[in-house]
Chain A
Amino acid sequence: MLLEPRATPSRWMNYAAPLLAILLTLGVGALLFTALGKDPKEAFHVFFIGPLADANGWSELLLKAAPLILIAEGLAIGFRARIFNIGAEGQLIMGAIFGGGVAIAFPESQSAWLLPAMVLAGATGGALWGAIPALLKTRFNAEETLTTLMLAYVANLVLAWLVSDPWRDPGGMNFPQSVMFGDAALFSMLFEGLRLNTSVFITGVAVLLFWLFVSKSFLSYQVTVGGLAPQAARYAGFPASRTVWLSLVLSGLTAGLAGIGEVAGPVGQLNLNISPGYGYAAIIVAWIGRLHPVGIVFSGLLMALIYLGGEAAQMALQTPAAITGIFQGMLLFFLLACDVFIDFRLRKPLEKRRAAALAKKAIA
């Protein structure tokens, strides 16, 4: 079998590839469960159906999907322009530090302005952390793939230092964590008894804005061209550096917002576990969502379900926690493999086809 380029990319395969990738992941997942000595049927039920059986499950799904979608929307703008920000995890942490810092600075505040100030600070923190690789790329030509990731490790260590020294909760039994935030520093709950909070609206607004940006604005077109053909963009009067700045600052900003959504939401303080790798998982979300604002909503929900399913399987089937990461990685692997059929089709080698044609003739 050989790959033969298609005359035009297949639109159909563009949408079919993610579905095919999901099926392949489930197939290998079934093998994996069998290898672990679990009945795959039961395991799939626990993993994918069980978590959505009640209102609490749906609340948890949206709670996990919201930051993933928010970050992935920002990353997709850059990915469209071939700017590979892979350090969203660090920008998320910086958002949490900046926003959480406001809450820690005013522990007694009852002001209605406290939470908006935290959101603003969180967005600023993420955007600033994204601006550093933008500066390094535009001024010094330094590859953003590596700088964004290195900065993610640095952000993690800054957080570790803050919560184990200057911002450590004196009553926290020496655990590396800050004080718990007051009520005024937390997003309010949407429903009685469920953890889903108002920060989900930030994601809603972001999806709408990114959809408008991508489908209606000339700027988005320029950004995409700027990444694909920097020379052409320069002739058209749009410098490539603006693409870099816009992509990295925007994706840093959304990651920062996701960070404050976590610490002023389900976490409620600064500690070392503010993100279960949302910044990295969002890379997969963006890719499976085809870098499209609406596609990302669906892939974000799917990825959130994998997180929930992983937790459920851990409790019900005693499978290891790392199974979530394996499913996420496999999904991206299979998607990349299936994507080949967008631009190529399979065909038999020429000699075999000739032989087959000759045989047909001979029979006729």
Chain B
Amino acid sequence: MIEHLIPILAGTLGAATPLIYAGLGELVAERSGVINLGVEGMMLIGAVAGFAAAVETGGGAGAGFLAGAAAGTFAALCFAVLTMSLAANQSAAGLALTIFGIGLSAFIGQHYVSHSLPGLKPVALPLLSSIPLLGPVFFTQDMGVYLSFVFFGIVWWVLAKTKLGLMLRAVGESPESAHALGFPVFAIRYGAVLFGGAMAGIAGAYLSTVYTPMWVQNMSAGRGWIAVALVVFATWRPGRLLLGAWLFGGVTILQFHAQALGVRVPSQLLSALPYIATIVVLVLISRDRKLLQLNLPASLGKSFVPGR
């Protein structure tokens, strides 16, 4: 059992990384009062764009991350124009983005079906990686994992400590009051949604260029939706999001180690675990309405049209 522990924990971090990227982006968007159900679509568009860029430029995962972020931002822009400038229903527009993203990524990805990439090698951080247990788990990872920690730090700091974070939260609570105070409601919401798109795009690019460095149709396999669920689980707080992502990463990784641990369960049932876990966790969090409403942005899901 113990000899499996370090690979399982280290693998958990890798599996959690796309969820951290996509989840942080969605958390910021939702904190500004916009719920974007298109995360799955943006992730797929980011995944295919990242993979294509990594193959075509030979720039590896770095080029993939940049292209994924750009593609995710562009997808989010379509959503932002629909829901903010044209005041369309946010849930419907998000669904449209996911359906469109599945189609578009399959369309572009067709040329890349048989390609593969070298991926990223783990980098052992000096000193830190020699700490027993923590070292091999947290500090012997690829650059994509470290970058997700950096983004976590930035999002946490901006939300909790800066004026920008304060304005963002104010807009999410009451766009009318924020508008009256002179905050640029539209600019902040656009910014939050585009950031969410860029992060979902990077999440997709991490999947296709690092985690499983190849292109498979629909390769995000519901991770975008799990990221949306994670934001609820986290009750809109970055720290809990990180913990939640690790929990889900662990559930995902367990299925690969189940055989070695002597668990005799059909593989499909093990593959269903992350989805079932999502439902269970949602139920556990949602049943406590007080906990849920403590941090729930009051204007979440409502369009804002000044002067209506």
Contact = CB atoms under 8 A, between A and B. Distances in A.
A5 B305 CA distance: 9
A141 B287 contact: yes
A153 B99 contact: no
B102 interface: yes
Contacts of B286: 140-143
A229 to B, nearest CB: 15
A147 interface: yes
Contacts of A140: 283, 286-287
Interface string A316-327: 000011111111
Contact of A336 (B89, B228, B283): B89
A350 to B, nearest CB: 11
Given A142-B286, A320-B107, A150 B292 contact: no
A164 B282 contact: no
Given A3-B305, A146-B225, A340 B88 contact: yes
Contacts of A157: 268-269, 271-272, 275
Given A146-B282, A280-B99, A336 B225 contact: no
Contacts of A154: 272, 275-276
B268 A143 contact: no
- Residue with the highest number of chain A CB atoms closer than 10 Å, among B99, B272, B308: B99
Nearest to A163: B268
Interface residues of B, number: 47
A333 B78 contact: yes
Given A151-B279, A160-B268, A332-B99, A337 B91 contact: no
A325 B102 contact: yes
B6 interface: no
A161 interface: yes
A185 interface: no
A172 B104 CA distance: 34
Taking chain B's interface residues, is the majority helix, strand, or loop, or is none over half, making it mixed? helix
Interface string B265-308: 01011011001101100110011010010000000000001001
B8 interface: no
Contacts of B82: 333, 336-337
B279 A325 contact: no
B92 A287 contact: yes
Nearest to B268: A161
A322 B96 CA distance: 15
Interface string A283-299: 11001000000000000
A154 B276 CA distance: 7
B249 to A, nearest CB: 17
Interface in B62-117: 78, 81-82, 85-89, 91-93, 95-97, 99-104, 106-107, 110
A339 interface: yes
Contacts of B78: 333
B110 to A, nearest CB: 5
A150 B93 CA distance: 19
Contacts of B47: none
A145 B37 contact: yes
A86 B222 CA distance: 13
A329 interface: yes
Contacts of A327: 103
Contacts of A108: none
A142 B104 contact: no
Given A141-B289, A154-B276, A84 B271 contact: no
Contacts of A280: 99
A341 B99 CA distance: 23
- Residue with the highest number of chain A CB atoms closer than 10 Å, among B101, B272, B278: B272
Interface in B102-139: 102-104, 106-107, 110
Nearest to A162: B268
A333 B100 CA distance: 8
A307 to B, nearest CB: 12
Contacts of A151: 275, 279
Given A151-B279, A158-B268, A337-B82, A86 B107 contact: no
B229 interface: yes
A330 interface: yes
B282 A3 contact: no
Interface string A39-65: 000000000000000000000000000
B91 to A, nearest CB: 6
B49 to A, nearest CB: 15
A19 interface: no
A146 B86 contact: no
Interface in B26-52: 37
Contacts of B88: 336-337, 339-340
Contacts of B287: 139-142
Contacts of B305: 3, 5, 344
A330 B81 CA distance: 14
A143 B232 contact: yes
Nearest to B226: A150
B100 A161 contact: no
15 contacts: A3-B87, A5-B305, A136-B283, A146-B225, A146-B228, A149-B222, A151-B279, A154-B275, A284-B99, A287-B92, A320-B107, A329-B101, A330-B100, A332-B96, A343-B87
Interface of B: 37, 78, 81-82, 85-89, 91-93, 95-97, 99-104, 106-107, 110, 221-222, 225, 228-229, 232, 266, 268-269, 271-272, 275-276, 278-279, 282-283, 286-287, 289, 292, 305, 308
Nearest 3 A/B pairs, CB to CB: A325-B103, A329-B100, A322-B106
Interface of A: 3, 5, 84, 86, 136, 139-143, 145-147, 149-151, 153-154, 157-158, 160-161, 164-165, 280, 283-284, 287, 320-330, 332-333, 336-337, 339-340, 343-344
Given A84-B91, A328-B99, 7 more contacts: A157-B275, A165-B266, A320-B110, A322-B104, A325-B104, A329-B103, A333-B97
